[in-house]
Amino acid sequence: MSATRYSATTGLVHEEPLLFEQAHEQHEAMALPGCAAEEAPSPLASFLRQKPAGIPGLSEPEVVRHFVRLSQWNHGIETGFYPLGSCTMKYNPRVHEQIARMPGFAQAHPDQPEDSVQGLLSLLFELQQALGEITGLPHVTLTPAAGAHGELVGIMMIRAWHDARGDDCRRTVLVPDSAHGTNPASASLAGMRTVELKSGPDGQIDLTELKSRLDDRVAALMLTNPNTTGRFESQIAEICDLVHQAGGLVYGDGANLNAIVGKARPGDMGIDCLHINVHKTFATPHGGGGPGAGPVAVNEALAPFLPVPRIERQGEQYRIVRSCPQSIGPVFGSIGQVGVLLRALAYIRAFGRDHLHRIAEDAVLNANYILHRLKDAYHVPFPGLCKHECLLTDKFQNRHGVKTLDLAKRLIDLGFHPMTIYFPLIVHGAMLIEPTETESRRTIDAFCDAMLEIARACEKGEVQPMLDAPTKPFRRRLDETRAARKPVLVWPERANGSSADRS
Amino acid sequence: MRFLPHTEEDRRSMLETIGMTHVDELFADIPERFLLKPGTLELPEAASEAAILRHFGRAASANLHAGQMRCFLGAGTYHHFVPAAVDHVISRGEFLTAYTPYQPEISQGTLQALFEFQTMIARLLDMDVANASMYDAATSVAEAALMARRVTRRDRVLMAESLNPRYRAVTENYLARNGGHICIQPADAFDERDPIPSLARAIDDQTACVIVQYPDFFGRIHALAPLRAACDEHGALLVVAFSDATAFGLIEPPGHFGADIACGSGQALGIPMSFGGPHIGLFACRQRFVRQMPGRVCGMTEDAEGRRGFVLTLSTREQHIRREKATSNICSNQGLMCTAIACHLSLLGDAGIREVAMRSAAALQKLIEQLPPAITPAPGAHYNETVLRFPDGKLRDAFIRAAREAAIFAGIPLETLTDRQTHAADLLVATTEIISAEDIDDYAAVLHRTLEPRK
């Protein structure tokens, strides 16, 4: 048995052993309700587990302290600025947590009778309507579990639309080289072949390149607007027209919807199908990697192909429709990430028609303000107006032997979560900064000051702090190569000291 | 607007810094014809927090839920007890409002919790490794099938009909656009014969994997050894799916039967039902397949000073590096649910998990013992779920209605899940440790009352 370790918190810095290292004999199990039993039911006799799993059971005070101490090693939006480009890390209203935990939602079973969940269905229906209105694409599925899942669903629908027209040779999806990695991965999963579109020198879609790739095998163009350089594709109408004339459809990656929410609608621009990352635009918490939700909004043409189940209103009743003739079918085990979706609706309701556009206005103002303050100290690959995020590179700092990773790690020592780094792939040493609408001017100025301080230090040749960074957290840079070369994904030691290897 | 910190003066002076006088200039790159007039979207008016709480509160109270009803519903979602500490831990802003841990030095909390989660899941399922979650059980099974096709470079996927129809449908849907073929081996809840040998015989040299649910969709438990043998003979992978992972506190886990991949739902391990989501898909496999695994994984490493730390690893499998050649398109997963499960399982420990399972199984056994003779339970060994066959569909539906009057959600009409009219008199019933002896007495009493007029 591993020695039980305790680590005190000194000056709010602490170590915290793994749960498995804290394991001790479990003197009594948690008291539980229900039907106590001395023995397992006899039909199970020949199936009984012979060797316990080896999951340490600790008392509640120990468990709570363990996880709270772990939590204190995390940066979160509630603890500080989180300017990750393309991730839209905005404040997550606390009332959303109360809502999702209301027993009428949290304790509803997905297969309880439809007439016993009318309240919940009415809200989900309301969300469908709202997302349809906001995107200008009136038909919405709430089911996709995340943005990438939404992409898969969207491409499946586009494929089905072509097939239904007898145009079943269209299996190519055009994806700009600036796109999120999920775009080509989702297209592949939908059985499509991706062709990469090279961006123009301004980081925008190059119409000549687009035209040269359009043929009778192209099912769709997947595009992100504003794109991942943070700039709006102003030729969006021409792009959509070209794709439509060639018989294809336009898929919109809604990851950057925060830039235009309430200001303009993808559907009006000619986009046929769009997923919405509600964990970005509509402030549902990221949870350290999820859960998110990726509803997909489509126009009339694609509506018949929406996945099932669907939520429909029939008179005063809300119905869950589980089968539709042209549907692409089910893509998830339930109707969706309901708890996440309710939070998104609450955010939309808080802003309402009066204020929704102010999300985009402040988000875009903040990004342009940062761009303006940093544009002399950092290389700006694509100058001009940006939308909700701005793109810089490490070109100037490279001269001093400092690269994007070092700059990012130095930001940690200065009290900020780094921006998105090395994305998009079309510029060398990318730094993509997205402040969102929920940051104060004071925070944004402090971030800009920190960035300028880093740039000045580089100019003065004081680069060692960058190369050593981070030094403030309780861990320095972690060896990712070692982790990948010989992966250790589970704790190898058992409570009895033996190793758990089983090959 | 309470979420927007700027004053009008902030906005004015920030615009001035940029060299602008009006906010509209920030949107000059959007063609004018696409710009909306503020306030013209057909949405409700802005609502105060109090008004929002009232709106959602009213909707919530219009629903029935497992806090008021005795819940005998299963089919992949189970009403197990979740201690308050679990919800407290995942409500911590540092867990709740963090992003994917791409900057490990300031994300060790999430990363260590993921590592603990992966370890616990691997141990519970008796598998070598587990990933840091999939969206849900259905997509987890679909990803298992895709992975088996990559590993074996074969196309044929064999599934038992006793796999949850929703997992099956999503898996068929995921596979349908990538060639290959799918075979469904018939299985029925009331067939007395062991379905495993015939499933094993259906494995051939073209088979990438066989997917079997254990306990199966009808709640039955079968020894899977013949499948392992047939998979070895034909070079196929054994994929074991599951719905209620608490089962493995009591019965042998997928690894015991030599599963190559174990995948299913983790909802039963500390996640509220939430009308179907967010839940979590668990995914575990053998060490040697780890580079073909979908989804994120957390690994142990050291920092520049040799201290233990954790990072996301094996990312060359993933979409942000491999793009169209990635093992999966998954990016956001169910991260927070991993922390919830790690917390829940450590509160239970081996003894608690076994106790949850014992009580869940005992409740079903007690229910079966109290059934009137006119009701036939499915034969064979069951954990906490089974199918009850009524004399006819009308009686079954009358019972469901009567039970609801007595604050009982009695079960799920089986044909609504399987789409088979032969199931129109069948009821899928599940129990957990929340179901008390009194709940079962009440259930049985309503059942007897419903059947009485037949005497």
Q: Does any domain span residue B54?
A: no
Query: Tokens representing A58?
Result: 């600790």
Contacts A354 to B, Cβ<8 Å: 39, 45-46
Which residue, of A350, A376, A410, is where some domain finishes? A350
Q: Does any domain span residue B13?
A: no
Give me the domain span that covers residue B377: 70-79+349-454
Smallest CA-to-CA distance from A437 within A304, A308, A262, A187 is with A262
Round to whole Å and give the CA distance between A266 and A264: 7
**CATH number of the structural domain spanning residue A414:** 3.90.1150.10
- Could you count the other beta carbons within 10 Å of the beta carbon of residue B371? 16
- Same domain for A114 and A198, yes or no, is yes
Q: How many CA atoms lie within 13 A of A215 on its CB side?
A: 7
- Same domain for B93 and B227, yes or no, is yes
Give me the domain span that covers residue A368: 357-484
- Same domain for A455 and A399, yes or no, is yes
Round to whole Å and give the CA distance between A133 and A127: 10
**CATH number of the structural domain spanning residue A285:** 3.40.640.10
Q: What is the pLDDT of residue A3?
A: 46
Chain position carrying tokens 């694509």: A382
Round to whole Å and give the CA distance between B182 and B185: 10
- Could you count the other beta carbons within 10 Å of the beta carbon of residue B400? 20
Q: Does any domain span residue B39?
A: no
- Same domain for A123 and A247, yes or no, is yes
**CATH number of the structural domain spanning residue B387:** 3.90.1150.10
Which residue, of A350, A378, A409, is where some domain finishes? A350
Q: Does any domain span residue A165?
A: yes
- Same domain for B356 and B333, yes or no, is no
Query: Tokens representing B182?
Result: 């799918």
Residue B62 contacts residue A104 (beta carbons within 8 Å): yes
Q: What is the pLDDT of residues A13-62, one digit of tens each?
A: 899 999 999 988 887 778 999 999 999 999 999 999 999 999 999 999 99
- Same domain for A428 and A283, yes or no, is no
**Helix H or strand E segment including B409:** strand B408-409
Nearest CA in chain B to A268: B34
Dihedrals phi, psi of A233, to nearest 5 degrees = -80, 95
- Same domain for A306 and A419, yes or no, is no
- Same domain for A225 and A112, yes or no, is yes
**CATH number of the structural domain spanning residue B277:** 3.40.640.10
Average pLDDT score over chain A? 95
Smallest CA-to-CA distance from A73 within A9, A13, A18 is with A13
Which residue, of B345, B378, B393, is where some domain finishes? B345
Give the distance from CA A215 to its chain's centroid.
Answer: 32
- Same domain for B306 and B353, yes or no, is no
Percent of chain A residues topping a pLDDT of 90: 93
Which residue, of B324, B345, B366, is where some domain finishes? B345
Residue B236 contacts residue B207 (beta carbons within 8 Å): yes
Domains in chain B: how many in total?
A: 2
- Same domain for B185 and B98, yes or no, is yes
Q: Does any domain span residue A497?
A: no
Contacts A477 to B, Cβ<8 Å: 105, 303-304
Of A99, A291, A409, the CB nearest to B337: A291
The SS3 call for residue A135 is helix
Q: Does any domain span residue B24?
A: no
- Same domain for A292 and A424, yes or no, is no
Which of A82, A475, A498 to substitute to test the interface with B, most B CBs within 10 Å? A475
Contacts A476 to B, Cβ<8 Å: 105, 303-305, 307
Round to whole Å and give the CA distance between A249 and A22: 56
- Cis-peptide into B253, omega within 30 deg: no
Percent of chain B residues topping a pLDDT of 90: 95
Q: What is the pLDDT of residues B76-133, one digit of tens each?
A: 999 999 999 999 999 999 999 999 999 999 999 999 999 999 999 999 999 999 999 9
Domains in chain A: how many in total?
A: 2
- Same domain for B276 and B388, yes or no, is no
Please state the ipTM of this predicted complex: 0.97
The SS3 call for residue B313 is strand
Q: Does any domain span residue A433?
A: yes
Q: Does any domain span residue A41?
A: no
Q: Does any domain span residue A380?
A: yes
**Phi-psi region for residue B64, left (φ > 0), alpha (ψ -120 to 50) or beta?**
beta
The alpha-carbon gap from A458 to the nearest alpha carbon of chain B, in Å, equals: 22
Which residue, of B345, B367, B385, is where some domain finishes? B345
- Same domain for A319 and A375, yes or no, is no
Of A32, A95, A105, the CB nearest to B275: A105
- Same domain for B210 and B340, yes or no, is yes
Q: Does any domain span residue B199?
A: yes
**Helix H or strand E segment including B185:** strand B182-185
Check the CA dihedral A184-A190-A194-A199 and report its sign. Answer: negative
- Same domain for A297 and A394, yes or no, is no
Q: What single-letter amino acid sits at B421?
A: Q
Q: Does any domain span residue A62?
A: no
- pLDDT band at residue A11, thresholds of 50, 70 and 90? confident
Round to whole Å and give the CA distance between A165 and A52: 57
Residues 6+ apart with CB under 8 A from B12: none
Residues 6+ apart with CB under 8 A from A453: A414
Provide mean pLDDT across the span A367-384: 98
Provide mean pLDDT across the span B240-265: 98
- Same domain for A121 and A208, yes or no, is yes
- Partnered with residue A430 across adjacent β-strands are A393
Q: What is the pLDDT of residues A198-211, one digit of tens each?
A: 999 999 999 999 99
Percent of chain A residues topping a pLDDT of 70: 97
Dihedrals phi, psi of A232, to nearest 5 degrees = -80, 135
Res. B230: pLDDT tops 80: yes
Q: Does any domain span residue A181?
A: yes
- Same domain for B390 and B304, yes or no, is no
Q: Does any domain span residue A8?
A: no
Round to whole Å and give the CA distance between A174 and A196: 6
